[in-house]
Structure 1
Amino acid sequence: MVNHQVSEWEAIALNKAGKTIPTSYLENVKKVVQENQGKFRLITDTERYTLGILAAGGDPTNIGGYNLVESIYNGNVTKQGLNGVAYALIALDSAKFKIPDLATWNRDKLLAQLLQKQNKDGGWAWDESTNSDIDTTGMILTALAPYKNQTGVKEKVDAAVQYLSTHYQNAKIDNSSTAAQVVIALSALGIDANGSLFTKENNSLVQYLLSFQNKDGGFDWKGGDVSDVFSTAEGIQGLAAYQLYATGKGSLYQLPLAAQTTVKENSTTPAVKQPLTQSVVVESSNSKVSTKGNPLPNTATNTYNLLILGIFLMMIGLVFYLREKKRNA
């Protein structure tokens, strides 16, 4: 994978596999964000860039002067169907970003949007139709994973897991990308993709995913010996997710925001590290926040000048009064 251009999904996989992400990745993303002035036609572009930036150790709330996280919670997340909604929740939860009270979307709204679109068979369809598909169901389960024990969520998750299990048992999972999405979802939920629920004829879902890996290390989509970049990225994400599950080290999209250091006002001002769970906006797409405050009006000097003027006028008045009194004597 590292012999090809690293995209957002590869960056996430490399991060979770404990590998080094090329420094050029973050530099390239910064240029793309600046060229587009922080605005992308597809909300999923904003969401995947947010995840990739986090994986590479960057801050998506201030990348090239733009706040991508704000563009998510104030964006049109439903424009691309349920994929946009699912990855909005995944991106916002990835580093536990704080969402303002007046934001267009919050976690409760995103959850409600996903839950109410579940079909009777337990799955979801990206276009919100009644024709559920496995990939979308896996993605949405990954988004729901942090909330899996909440009332009203658990029942939905259980039904979706059964939907996926049935489809695997019936050989409906027939390519590496779909297998990877399901492994990612199950691992986030704490369900063993190598267990009996996802085993058919002694072949588990993890083993099935591994069957698509070729001698060059890459993955192909649906069988054969020619690897492709997309299938490889999804395949390694699935393996990284399962490894995280097996070692009890969280899920694929847990990407804490690296500690950021504020700009020093002068050499005597210590740098302050921002909390990991908060989003700190240094620059937005419309304005820059200066680290220097405007000076307060010099009200003390003005008052002093008025006092001196008043005393001077009183002295003139006193002299005038004494001269008039002497003249009239």
Structure 2
Amino acid sequence: MSLQRLSSPKPLILDGGTATHLERAYHKNLTGTALWSSSCLYQDPQAIRNVHLDYLRAGADIISTCSYQASVAGFKEFTQTKAKELMQSSVSLATEARDTFWDEYQKGEKENSPRRDIPLVALSLGPYGAILCNGAEYTGDYGDATFDDVLRFHKERLDIYAPMFDQVDFIAFETIPSLQEANIIRELLRNVPNCPPTWVSFSCRNSHLVSHGEPLTECINSCMDVPSVVAVGVNCTNPQYVEDLIGITRRQLDDMGLVEKWVVCYPDAGAAWDDVRREWILSTALPADAFGTLSEKWVNAVDKKRIIIGGCCNTTPNHIRNLRLQVFG
């Protein structure tokens, strides 16, 4: 299904922030836990279903599983078998929500839902830094962790999710902060049989460098010779840098002769993080209508073609609703 949808160049709308929407609408204080949103896989799975449904009803074509920070090490209070079951349940929750939405949409129960094809599911896989719980996905500083340590981390998770590959339309390696981790993902994906279509998105510190300091162009080069990688771009990055970053991404792909590859773009809402209080400063975040207005510049940077566009931290269903209206009218 996902490859058929990608044969059309029109934009696809991704969902918005999972953890921040979970926290504000359904479940408090997730930022204080090592598992972040993945703690709801055992604490409150219905809340995860509700978040998926909220984004689908707002117009998302793609929803992301609640698995960004999930790992066996993160579920250390459970047996390894139970930890794997919880991780795999993130896929089941997303597909259940997708099927529930599609059933109600087909019956016309949600008249305000935008017209579209059956939504798609992306398996969300955060970087090694996500399990360190120290903001390392925004610096790429992994301390004493070696290339092999990070490779084993990513391989363990892919092995756990491999039985679910037929239930997802994409794998999303998200918030990758460095060229080294991009190279690790490249090395891993070259040896994954029956790998679903994959995108790799980077966290960036400014309009041309990823968080660790390497040029985005080098990071794009590192993974575009992997057949399963169908898209590359940026996420969890301040909106002020996005127009330049996705312009760079599109030009780089075109210069490499990869015009069929897609750009993926889902910035955060621009809220600052207070590391002392461990909370977002929401007064600095873009409201939903302003986020939607900015998105016009982002889709125009790629000529309104071959872009997967959504939101990350502190974006909400209202942000996605406004984004979709701006993109499709």
TM-score by length of 2: 0.29
Structure (1 or 2) with the larger CA radius of gyration: 1
Higher strand residue share: 2
Relative contact order (alpha carbons < 8 A, sep ≥ 6): 1 or 2 greater?
2
